[in-house]
Structures are given as structure tokens and as C-alpha cells.
Amino acid sequence: MDLEVRNLRKTFNLSRKQRRIEHTDEKRRVAVRGLSFEAKRGEIYGLLGPNGAGKTTTLRCISTLIKPDEGDVFVDGKSVLKDSMGVRKNIAFLTNELKLDDFFTPNYLYDYFSRLHGVDEKTAEKRKKELFKRFGVDKFAEVKVADLSSGMKQKTSIAISLVHDPDFIIFDEPTNGLDVLTAKTVVDYLLELKESGKAIIVSTHILSVVEKLCDKVGIIIDGELKVSGTLQEVKAKDAKQDLENVFFSLVEESGGADRA
């Protein structure tokens, strides 16, 4: 059993402030409407969709940060609703928005999260060495996060999210806002993780990320999964095998659903 998203549905109540900002009268917004897909070990699944499509909401449900209204997610057979603690032990949630407390050093934060995950000290120490070396954090291990470059911050936060060596890795917009070099390090690392048998889900609104990274892809628009399958299968929807064409025709079909 790998990772299964089953009929996921999530609705938000819109605050008055949010209604004003978005010029809308609706009190509730269905962010995700009945989403189902599967992600397998040794594969990268890409959720491709425009802004506001419901990607972050889906990934947050998978990571147990928010609870679905309907449906469920099973991570290695464990339900996010019934056994969120069990899910958390074996999952990592990364995002380009994931901030680190400025005051601490990568070294301190790594140890802190290792302890929270209950990793024993010897294993933690060994893994820290590897991860820090892999990302070049080792030279900055004792520098406060506040003084790190933004690329180094992102690499640190990846290392720190993986202290417990989880089998499932959820990454929201992995290359967003990163410089080309850091973005390449991240992409390479995700491919490495895939090779080592992890199940990975990424979300993105950038077509090239999907092309480079993903084995399977689901196109999500307005909270619904329009197509899902291997990259080849999805590309086959277009006569020229062009992912871009597939994507834009789906966006057009649903009335250019970019809200944000």
C-alpha cells in the first residue's frame, strides 16, 4: 500500500476580510471537490494546476495539517483522519513558504526536529552529516538562519524536513522562488529520493517542472482532477504530444479558472 487520495473534498468558510480582498459575496468556497489519485513508491506524482486550483489544500490534507470534509487519504494504509499521528511519522511536508526560525542555526534546528520525530541520537548525527553535506549546509551549520542566503535557507529547510527519513514526501511548489542553481539541486535531489524508493508528490503551476520531474501527472483545475495518468498518457491527449496544449485546452474548457 502506498499513498491513496480517495474522494477528497474540502470547503473553507471565507472570512469577511477575504471576501473583501477577493471581491466576492460567497461565504463558502469549495477548494477541492472529490479528488482521487494514487502515488507509488519509486515514482513522482505531479499535481499541475493554475493558482487557486486547490493544490496546496490537497497537499495540506495529505500532510494532516487540515482535515478533509469528505473522503480520506491513506498513507501506507493509515488514514489521515483516524491515525494522523501514524501518518506524521512517515511523511514530510515541504513548501517554498516553509520558514525557519531566524534565531536558530541549522545545526540546532536539525537536532530539534530530530528529537521531535524521536530519531535516536546516533542515527540523527549520521544522517545530519549526510544531508548537510549533500546540500552544502555543513559550512553554514553554525550560522543563524537569519544570516543565510535564501537558497541556503531552502536547502536547510529541506534537510530539516527529512530528519526522520520518511517514505512519503510532499512538496508544494518545489522550485518556486528559487534561483536556478538551488532549483537544480532540489530537482536532482527529488530524483535521487525517487530512485531510493520514496513516494513523492509535488504540486506546481510550471509545466517544465512536470516534464523534468514527474512520472505521473494530474491536472487540477478549480478543485477537480481533469486528467490523471503517466506523463505519456496525459500527453497523448494532444495530437502533438504537447503537455502545454493539453493543459491550456483543459483550462479553457473550464472557463479560464484562474481566480488569484
35 binding ligand ADP? (CB under 6 A): no
92 binding other proteins? (CB under 8 A): yes
Choose the binding region for ligand ADP from 54-62, 78-86, 111-119, 180-188 (rule: CB under 6 A).
Answer: 54-62
State which of residues 82, 133, 139, 259 lies at the interface with ligand ADP (CB under 6 A): 259
H, E, C per residue of the chain: CCEEEEEEEEEEECCHHHHHHCCCCCCEEEEEEEEEEEECCCEEEEEECCCCCCHHHHHHHHCCCCCCCEEEEEECCEECCCCHHHHHHCEEEEECCCCCCCCCCHHHHHHHHHHHCCCCHHHHHHHHHHHHHHHCCHHHCCCCHHHCCHHHHHHHHHHHHCCCCCCEEEEECCCCCCCHHHHHHHHHHHHHHHHCCCEEEEEECCHHHHHHHCCEEEEEECCEEEEEEEHHHHHCCCCCCCHHHHHHHHHHHCCCCCCC
260 binding other proteins? (CB under 8 A): no
State which of residues 39, 48, 56, 155 lies at the interface with Mg ion (CB under 5 A): 56
State which of residues 41, 89, 134, 212 lies at the interface with other proteins (CB under 8 A): 89
8 binding ligand ADP? (CB under 6 A): no
Q: Residue 97 or 188: which CB sits closer to other proteins? A: 97
State which of residues 3, 8, 53, 178 lies at the interface with ligand ADP (CB under 6 A): 53
Can you give the binding site for other proteins, defined by CB under 8 A? 15, 17-18, 60, 63-67, 85-86, 88-89, 91-93, 95, 97-104, 108, 112-113, 115-118, 157, 160-161
